[in-house]
Every structure is written in C-alpha cells, then in structure tokens.
Amino acid sequence: MKRFEYKTVDLSPTWSLDPEKKNAEHLERLAKLGQEGWMLVSGNENWKYSLFVREIEE
C-alpha cells in the first residue's frame, strides 16, 4: 500500500518591486521542492498556502 506525506509551504516571495525577481525566486523554490520529490497539489494561484505531497519510501 502506498503511503504519502503532505506539507504546506508559504511560497510568498520576498518583498520586491521587480516581478521578474519574484517569478525567478518562485520557480527556484518550486524546483528545489521538486528535486526533493514534492509535487504541488494546490496553491499555484495563492502562493501563501501551497500544498505539496510526496510518496513515502518504506
């Protein structure tokens, strides 16, 4: 039986007036989470409340 773990992450960017910097920071954080095996379930529209899931290796 597959098992999963979930976590919420606040992906709000650091304060900046530069939208390119905010976008680059967001993509960098998503890439890091992806490398750790996390998949975004919801929260792409509101970065403050992003839910991620990954399968637990037993």
- Domain range for 37 is 4-55
User: 16-53 pLDDT, tens per residue?
Assistant: 888 898 889 888 999 999 999 999 998 767 777 889 99
Count of domains forming the chain: 1
pTM for this model (two decimals) = 0.79
The answer to whether 41 touches 33, Cβ cutoff 8 Å, is no
Cα 52 to Cα 12, 46, 47, 58: the distances in Å are 15, 13, 12, 19
- Number of alpha carbons in the 13 Å side-chain half-sphere of residue 43: 18
Cα 10 to Cα 1, 2, 38, 57: the distances in Å are 30, 27, 14, 25
